[in-house]
Structures are given as C-alpha cells and as structure tokens.
Amino acid sequence: MRKKYKSQLCIYCGVREATDRDHIPPKGIYPPQWRNNRNLHKVPSCSDCHQYDSIADEEFKLYINIWTGEFRENQDDVIDTMARTIGENQRLASQIFSTATRGYADRGRGILEPVVYIGFNYENYRKVIKRISRGLYWTETKKIMSSKIDIRVVHPYEMNNYLKRYMQNVMNSLEKHELNYGTFVYKCCFSDNGLGILGMQFFSRHTVIAYTVPC
Ligand SMILES: [Zn+2]
C-alpha cells in the first residue's frame, strides 16, 4: 500500500513526501478491534505530520467518547478504551482531573443526577477538527489545501439559534458522505480556491461545523 503514495505529497504540510497514511477521523475514537480489523479511511501523510501531537489526539478521543459513548452499541468497549487512555497518559489524566468539579446534571423531567464536570482543552479539539478538515478536503477534491487558508471550527455550543438555523439550511442542501461504515458522516462544499464549509458528525451524535478563510 505504501507504494501508492510514492509520488504523492503529504496532504497536511504539502511539502514533504507522503510516506505514511493517517486515519481521518483519528482511529483512536474506535475500539481496538475496529482499529485492527476494519478498513478505516486514510489519507497520505508524511511521518512528521502523522506523528504530530498525540496528546491532542488522545484528548480528542476522550472527548468524542464522552459525548457519544452512551449512545453507541459497544458501550463497554468505549469505557474500556477511555479508561486505558487515562491510565496510560498521566499528563492528560492530571490535566483533566485538575479541572474536575462536582455538580448536578438535569436528565430531563426535573431529575438531577450528581456528576463530575471535567474541563477540556478546546484548542486540542480544534486542532484535530482542523486536521480532519484538511483530510476531508483532500478526500473530496484530491487537492492539498493551501497553507494560506485557515480553518475556523465552530462548536455547536458556540452558535446562537439564528446561526444554527442558517447552518442547518446550508447543511441540508449538501450531499451526505459516509466514512468508516457510517460512523462518521460529513457534508461539504468548496470553491476552487479552497474556501468553503464542512459539517461533520461522529456516531450520529456529535456535530461540528468548520469553515475556511484566507489568512
Ligand atoms: Zn506533512
């Protein structure tokens, strides 16, 4: 398989030769049996960009699993994977637990459940979404997104209702693409110069929008 990308440039830096393949979305969000046995989507990458920032990936994996875990079929595997991630990564664990506070969550019908809130570093979340966006741009157009283009990530919680409705209309008008057996869905539209919008959904639950701007 490596041969396939011999004359291909890394789709992230656009400078070095692609010698590796990078999973888009990161394969860490899947339980181990998926990572080894299934044919998950990949894009060509150089080894530097491929190994880039594993702490961001680990934190992203936890974030996605926390938001989607209770709705997924393999809940036990999801919890195991999360526990292992925290167990094996002390820096991440101490960062997360240093922010923990106790509180109550409304589970509907006025039922309050005691929960622990933990703080995430949204910069890492954004970093990974930006990388996925570049990967999806290449997947769709087979072109490398220029380094002169910046990607803005809009978390659903940051959108007011007007913007949400507007984004929903844009997204409804676009064609849906599925990757990794339907666990990851995206819609996008780009102009020739790489400016455009992307909507992504993980495990039919967690949705995020990204758009590109010249920088
Ligand atoms: Zn690279």
Question: 108 is written with which tokens?
Answer: 């509907």
Tell which residue, 187, 183, 172, 93, has the closest CA to residue 140.
Answer: 187
Contact in structure between 25 and 180 (CB atoms under 8 Å): yes
DSSP 8-class letter at 105 = E
Cβ-based neighbour number of residue 204 at 10 Å: 13
| Span from the CA of 92 to the centroid of ligand 1 (angstroms) | 25
Band the pLDDT of 155: cuts 50, 70, 90.
confident
| Span from the CA of 148 to the centroid of ligand 1 (angstroms) | 15
Q: What tens digit of pLDDT does each residue of 92-111 get?
A: 777 766 766 677 777 667 77
Distances (CA, A) of 32 to 10, 28, 82, 151: 26, 8, 11, 30
The model's pTM: 0.81
Distance, C-alpha 154 to centroid of its chain: 12
Q: What tens digit of pLDDT does each residue of 1-26 get?
A: 555 545 799 999 999 999 999 999 99
Q: Which residues surround ligand 1, an ion (CB under 5 A)?
A: 10, 12-13, 16, 46, 49
> Given phi > 0 = left and psi -120 to 50 = alpha, else beta, which region is 103?
beta
CA–CA gap between residue 12 and residue 24 (Å, rounded): 12
Band the pLDDT of 117: cuts 50, 70, 90.
low
CA–CA gap between residue 86 and residue 93 (Å, rounded): 5
| Span from the CA of 55 to the centroid of ligand 1 (angstroms) | 18
Name residues whose C-beta falls within 8 Å of residue 104's C-beta, 6 or more positions apart in sequence: 112, 113, 114, 115
Q: What tens digit of pLDDT does each residue of 46-58 get?
A: 999 987 667 888 8
In this prediction, residue 118 carries a pLDDT of 65
Q: What tens digit of pLDDT does each residue of 167-215 get?
A: 788 888 899 999 999 999 999 999 988 899 999 999 988 889 999 999 8
| Span from the CA of 53 to the centroid of ligand 1 (angstroms) | 13
| Span from the CA of 138 to the centroid of ligand 1 (angstroms) | 13
If you search the block for the tokens 């039922």, which residue do you land on? 111
| Span from the CA of 150 to the centroid of ligand 1 (angstroms) | 16
Question: Which range is most confident: 37-41, 76-80, 146-150?
Answer: 146-150
| Span from the CA of 195 to the centroid of ligand 1 (angstroms) | 21
| Span from the CA of 146 to the centroid of ligand 1 (angstroms) | 13
In this prediction, residue 6 carries a pLDDT of 56
